[in-house]
A and B are shown apart, each in its own frame.
Chain A
Amino acid sequence: MLSILLKKQLQETFRSYYFNPKTNKSRSTAGTIVLFVLFGVVMVVFVGGMMASLAATLCLSFHAVKVEWLFFLIMSLIALTLGVLGSVFNTYSRLYLPKDNDLLLSMPIPVSTVIISRLLSVYLMGLLYSSVVLIPSFIVYWIICGISVMSVLGCMILMVIITVLVLSLSCLLGWVVAKISVRLKNRSIIVVLISLAFIVLYYVFYFNASTIIRDLMLNALEYGEGLKNAVPFLYRFGMIGTGDLLATLIFLAASAVLFVLVWFLLRSSFLKLAITPAVTVKKKYRGSSDIIERSIQRTLLTKEFRRFVSSPAYMLNCGLGSLLLVVAGVFLLIFGGQFSSIISVQFGERSGFDAVLLCAGICLISSMNDMATPSVSLEGKSIWILKSSPVTPWQVLSAKLLLQITMTGIPALFASVCAAAAIKGDMFTRFMIIPVCLGYVVLMALFDLLIGLVIHNLNWVSEIVPIKQSIGVLIALFGGWVIPIVMGIAFFVLMAFIGGGIYLLAVFAVMLLLSLPIYLWMRKRGPVIYSEL
């Protein structure tokens, strides 16, 4: 029984490698091989290579002062963090949200068998994330410090311990997420906030990583000794990789105990969490106050807005720019003057280069918003509602366009006003930041909708497919970078001949010229494509 479920679970995990999610048809063997090779290249060459480089840097320094255990400790912590962060949200959905819960539980299959089969896919995910850190680290260690039977054995057991810890912690966090989800009402906002907190933490660590690593390398011995005396537990943990038998046995037993405890927790709560429907807002119909009359255009825009805020994935992947634009505006108010001074020193006070650079920066951040692109595909199976309603295709499309213009335009206006207020230079140049940024927002909204309309997919099962895994979204996201990059580079070349204000005016004119044909195309061809969906 377990092998049947495991096979199903593996088929599910790697489904996208064998089936095209857009057409739901089998991929060709060559297509599947290409996907696996690409995946391998990304994991081994890029991520693995990055980790190998970090491991080599650390290992050389730590080996010199004989604190190899610190190397294993740091790499294990990175593997643990990556494994847990990478699989925590997956764990929740893989354990508790599969659509076949009811089907499997209605069949004569023990609940524990269902849980084990689900845990295997969680384990595989954790193994994947942890391996890209651990395997390069082990190889680097064997190359630099020499290879022995005990160190190979130690590394293998460390791998088992880390992956079991990742599995246990992921399950524990997945259980907490499930518990919270059953009780929470505004789940999408909470998920967005938690995800943003993770993103902020990641970037704080990322920007400080080089300083931390340099500091660690310079003071490896001092930190090693301090840590060994203060937290012997961590010292012991690091010793596993070096082949320390006692440390290996202690942590092997500890991870086994932790897993058993987590297993009992999952086993006792699985049924309740897997089949309990999430809390629904028990709001009652309040009569007249619930009856709100709007114009067609307004009601379509409200619908698009509700769709946007109902999905954490939609907000995080297609609307993060709105938040960052506000942050950038505040940042500019505080540091914009300093930035302007630095640029003035380099390129002269009247160059206007600061205005152009800030303009390009705001445009780049604005390009992170591309909610118009997946909005067509997101209609999915409910497209019959609008198609059978007395609304023109253009009314539908313009609501999608307006969502992006509003969600990006308002924070972009704030950021550009902050930029104009913060920098030095003549009034005209500073003022021109505002129309250029807003012109860019309109141009990108039109471009993103065009892409979403041309490359659409209404046959998705998970909304992640149109939001994140579509070629259209990729084109919209990276296509948006072209204008700001060209804007900055072109002015660098031209600034000896043209002032910042006039240049920005010309950029604004170019944006209008680019927007016009897309708009005209959208008015003419857009409704035709929409009506054929």
Chain B
Amino acid sequence: MLVIENLTKRYGDTVAVDSLNLHIQPGEIYGFIGHNGAGKTTTIKCVAGILNFDSGKILIRGKSISEDHIGCKSEMAYIPDNPDMYDFMTGIKYLNFIADIFKVGAEERKRRIEDYADRFALTENLGQTISSYSHGMKQKLAIISAWIHSPSLIIMDEPFVGLDPKASHILKEMMREVCDGGGAIFFSTHVLEVAEKLCSKVAIIKNGRLVRSGTMEEVKGDDSLEEVFLELEGDED
């Protein structure tokens, strides 16, 4: 589903991501963890086609993001850590906008909007401008817009920040539904308990380099993910 090979991204002299390799298979929920400034967001933005990278390869269902970015982006959805959306639009107009971009038919989009908005109890607010939304409501809208075209790969940067416990639970359910349907999820998080319970695989990144990856059992063994993470963080010091 997603292949990242030798991904390197520099900001001037600083190497933000250094020869990163990751393979994500259909049906996997892949957690991406690391300290602040480790290179998670940069990696995610490169995968989402927002940032150009210096070297390496990113393939989504066999298509290269550098060569066929339209084809790749049609297959996936991206949710940033702080979803700044078009404040001047209403929620429903924004969802229509995204559905137009992804060419989702009227019937299909109506069904999906109603389904997801009902799950997140956002239907009543869809007629309001996004500027009046709380952070959590914006996050819910971003999630609905990501799910609206049934992507096979969903990339998320800290998706649980700002969500209430119920909305977090719904999002986890939706993530599992995507994977059950043959899709894949790649997301970053600082909430290690969530990663431990939700992810089938996990990757730990430190200073732009992948320090450990694999199935949850392979990565943490008999310890908790938190212990492994703290141990790896401590290695540097």
Contact = CB atoms under 8 A, between A and B. Distances in A.
Interface of A: 277, 280-288, 290-296, 298-300, 302-303, 306-307, 310-311, 380-382, 384-385, 387-392, 531-532
A306 B92 CA distance: 14
Contact of B113 (A291, A296, A384): A291
Contacts of B106: 288, 291-293
Contacts of B90: 281, 283
B14 to A, nearest CB: 17
B192 interface: no
Contacts of A531: 52
Contact of A388 (B48, B100, B105, B109): B48
B84 A380 contact: yes
Interface in B99-136: 99-103, 105-106, 109-110, 113-114, 117, 123-124, 126-129, 131-132
A531 B70 CA distance: 13
Interface stretch (B21-29, B73-81, B196-204, B219-227): B73-81
B88 A310 contact: yes
Given A285-B127, A292-B106, A384-B50, 11 more contacts: A281-B129, A287-B114, A293-B105, A293-B106, A306-B93, A307-B88, A310-B88, A382-B84, A388-B48, A389-B102, A391-B101
A299 B100 contact: yes
A281 B132 CA distance: 9
**Max chain B C-beta neighbours (<10 A), residue from A283, A290, A380:** A290
A296 B103 contact: yes
Nearest to B113: A291
Contacts of B126: 284-285, 290
Contact of A290 (B92, B105, B131): B92
Contact of B49 (A282, A287, A311, A387): A387
Contacts of B101: 296, 299-300, 389-391
The 7 closest A-B pairs by CB, nearest first: A283-B127, A310-B88, A299-B100, A381-B84, A280-B132, A390-B73, A285-B126
A502 to B, nearest CB: 46
20 contacts: A280-B129, A285-B117, A287-B110, A290-B126, A291-B96, A292-B106, A293-B100, A294-B96, A296-B101, A299-B97, A299-B100, A303-B86, A306-B89, A382-B84, A385-B98, A387-B48, A388-B48, A388-B77, A389-B98, A389-B102
Contacts of A277: 132
Nearest to A281: B128
B15 interface: no
Contacts of A388: 48-50, 73, 77-78
B211 interface: no
Contact of B50 (A298, A300, A310, A387): A387
Contacts of A310: 87-88
Interface in B158-188: none
Contacts of A290: 92, 96, 126-127
Given A293-B105, A307-B88, A384 B80 contact: yes
A282 B129 CA distance: 9
B85 interface: yes
Nearest to B126: A285
A295 B128 contact: no
A520 B131 CA distance: 38
Contacts of B48: 384, 387-388
Nearest to A532: B52
A384 B84 contact: yes
Nearest to A314: B88
**Max chain A C-beta neighbours (<10 A), residue from B48, B50, B131:** B50
A391 B113 CA distance: 22
B71 to A, nearest CB: 8
A290 to B, nearest CB: 5
A284 B124 contact: yes
B78 A281 contact: no
Contacts of B105: 293
**Max chain B C-beta neighbours (<10 A), residue from A306, A389, A531:** A389
A294 B88 contact: no
A531 B127 CA distance: 32
Nearest to A280: B132
Nearest to A295: B100
**Max chain B C-beta neighbours (<10 A), residue from A291, A295, A302:** A291
Given A280-B128, A293-B105, A299-B100, A382 B86 contact: yes
Contacts of A380: 84
Contacts of A282: 127-128
A287 B115 CA distance: 12
Given A277-B132, A390-B73, A391-B70, A307 B127 contact: no
A290 B52 CA distance: 36
Contacts of A285: 92, 117, 123-124, 126-127
B19 to A, nearest CB: 23
**Max chain B C-beta neighbours (<10 A), residue from A282, A292, A307, A388:** A388
B86 A307 contact: yes
Nearest to B93: A306
